[in-house]
Structure 1
């Protein structure tokens, strides 16, 4: 019957119209099938160093079978256990279990035998709607990053921010104000396999000294780039290997987080996610009291 229908289309319609119409018929069939959840079995363990390539291969394989834009963020949000597993590769979480990890890239991201769900169109729509209503909110003097969906706070993470000084950075070739910049904008890019470069001397480095004095290789955790008020300041949201610096003005302008928290932020902040970085000294604490924070950038003195 389908053969006769397509043959009839070729006879009665111009060539392009026939192709478009037959394509719609195929898409309609895929759409109806997509309402049943598809499952992918992880046939062998996937290490962090191969994790993104593996996800890309799944997206590429199933993208043409879904009537929506299947991508890494939709896939992982449909499988929240992945975020939990990635969070637990945090060096300090592992050390709390008396397990020293020298090279995080060799840790297992996806265990063999686990199942990935390819969301149907209804599930994917819900996830996409949630992305559209997500806000990344950062208050500099509070040293807090929050993730909101509509007006509901989903997460609150400690951060570090830029120092209150100006310094010559060889990376940019000029003296830079290292304060973290404020404004409203969005997430504009992700760096899934970042290079670690010291902006002061422009040297790339591959190992890090942890808070406990041990040396490890640097982890592979995505960096997130923001754009504020139409300007790119080079400010990134990224993990620090030294969480002892959280709650301090310590960086060269970037927003630092725990390794575990960085995975959550990444998967709740796809490209175009709304972002605001503010400098509010008056805040309400958990008990409902209004308190005034320390003016770490001494803005009140300047005014």
Structure 2
């Protein structure tokens, strides 16, 4: 065998070996990437290992946010986690006393109801999903028209939700809570959501007495539900004007409260998760409005501002 032929054979062997090594390296990298993706998918899926009741719901969700925040490439929040899992909002929505009653189920203590059933899963949003939700948050706003008794949630120019509300009474009254005479009319202005109270106390402002049970519209007595209150700031002022649920939805569509904006229990959950801190809010008093059919409506001047 000539040196030339031998050299060609050796070169072929070396080339084949090099290609084999490159192929193995490529396959190794591909498998590593698959393992990484598989591992990431695994930790992004949280299996709920026990029934989580409403009274333990916020503590449990907060613990998940704390645990998984270090693994995400963005700051994980409760609102991001739950908005990425809309079934949770649906479950909380349906704990409303009157929705349960419509299904022939009496609920004495809503806090004992299951918010997160054992065996269900929560998905930690990936960066793309989180970015989309953050954009939605930035484009969201709340609009309340007092004489219309309506609260609306918008994303950009799209109306997502419209809820009936109750508003403050047209009167002044001494409230022991503030120890002064207060104008009970709901205040108007533009501002933001500045806080959420996830464990609110129910206090009668007139007497400053805390209470723990409520008489429902059907005359039955139940414990008070655990649903967050949403705090507003308008024109730089905190009036103590909250958006919160009423246990008596028969009062919706009326000037009935001590100034706060009252909603159904179910709607309060949606408002909470669609209005993170910083969400713009406008509370207005417009007597002329246009309905969805394009008709102009003139509303009752409940605060007699035209007098």
TM-score (norm: length of structure 2): 0.87
- Count of residue pairs brought into register by the alignment: 272
Note the 1:33-52 alignment, pairs <5 A. 38-52=44-58
Query: What SS is found at the alignment partner of 1:65?
Result: coil
Within the candidate set 124, 131, 134, 1:125 is matched to 131
Is 1:278 paired with 2:271?
no
Is 1:199 paired with 2:199?
no
2:237 aligned partner: 231
2:146 aligned partner: 140
Quick one: distance in 1 between partners of 2:51 and 2:185? 42
Is 1:78 paired with 2:78?
no
Within the candidate set 41, 53, 58, 2:64 is matched to 58
Asked if structure 2 preserves the Cα contact closer than 8 Å seen for 1:35 and 1:122, the reply is no
Quick one: distance in 1 between partners of 2:141 and 2:44? 30
Check 1:284–1:228 CA distance in 2 against 1; reply closer, same or farther (3 A cut). same
- Kindly state the Cα deviation for residue 34 of structure 1 after the two structures are TM-superposed: 6.3
Within the candidate set 113, 118, 121, 1:112 is matched to 118
Is 1:209 paired with 2:208?
no
Quick one: distance in 2 between partners of 1:69 and 1:173? 42
- Kindly state the Cα deviation for residue 36 of structure 1 after the two structures are TM-superposed: 8.6
Check 1:237–1:119 CA distance in 2 against 1; reply closer, same or farther (3 A cut). same
Q: Deviations over 1:23-45 (max 9, x none)?
A: xxxxxxx99x8699810000111
Quick one: distance in 1 between partners of 2:74 and 2:281? 25
- Kindly state the Cα deviation for residue 125 of structure 1 after the two structures are TM-superposed: 0.7
Asked if structure 2 preserves the Cα contact closer than 8 Å seen for 1:197 and 1:205, the reply is yes
- Kindly state the Cα deviation for residue 285 of structure 1 after the two structures are TM-superposed: 1.6
Query: What SS is found at the alignment partner of 2:306?
Result: helix
Quick one: distance in 1 between partners of 2:41 and 2:224? 41
- Kindly state the Cα deviation for residue 288 of structure 1 after the two structures are TM-superposed: 1.1
Note the 1:125-204 alignment, pairs <5 A. 125-204=131-210
Asked if structure 2 preserves the Cα contact closer than 8 Å seen for 1:178 and 1:251, the reply is yes
TM-score (norm: length of structure 1): 0.88
Is 1:293 paired with 2:299?
yes
2:73 aligned partner: 67
Quick one: distance in 2 between partners of 1:239 and 1:129? 27
Quick one: distance in 2 between partners of 1:290 and 1:204? 43
Note the 1:259-274 alignment, pairs <5 A. 259-274=265-280
Quick one: distance in 1 between partners of 2:301 and 2:40? 53
- Kindly state the Cα deviation for residue 134 of structure 1 after the two structures are TM-superposed: 0.3
**Structure 2: gaps of 5 or more residues:** 1-35
Larger Rg: 2
Q: Deviations over 1:171-216 (max 9, x none)?
A: 0010000000000000000000100000000000000000000000
Query: What SS is found at the alignment partner of 2:69?
Result: helix
Query: What SS is found at the alignment partner of 1:167?
Result: strand
- Kindly state the Cα deviation for residue 286 of structure 1 after the two structures are TM-superposed: 2.6
Runs of 4 or more off by more than 2 Å in structure 1?
A: 33-37
Query: What SS is found at the alignment partner of 1:221?
Result: coil
Q: Deviations over 1:142-190 (max 9, x none)?
A: 0000000000000000000000000000000100000000000000000
**Structure 1: gaps of 5 or more residues:** 1-29
Q: Deviations over 1:82-121 (max 9, x none)?
A: 0000011000000001100000000000011101000011
Asked if structure 2 preserves the Cα contact closer than 8 Å seen for 1:45 and 1:111, the reply is yes
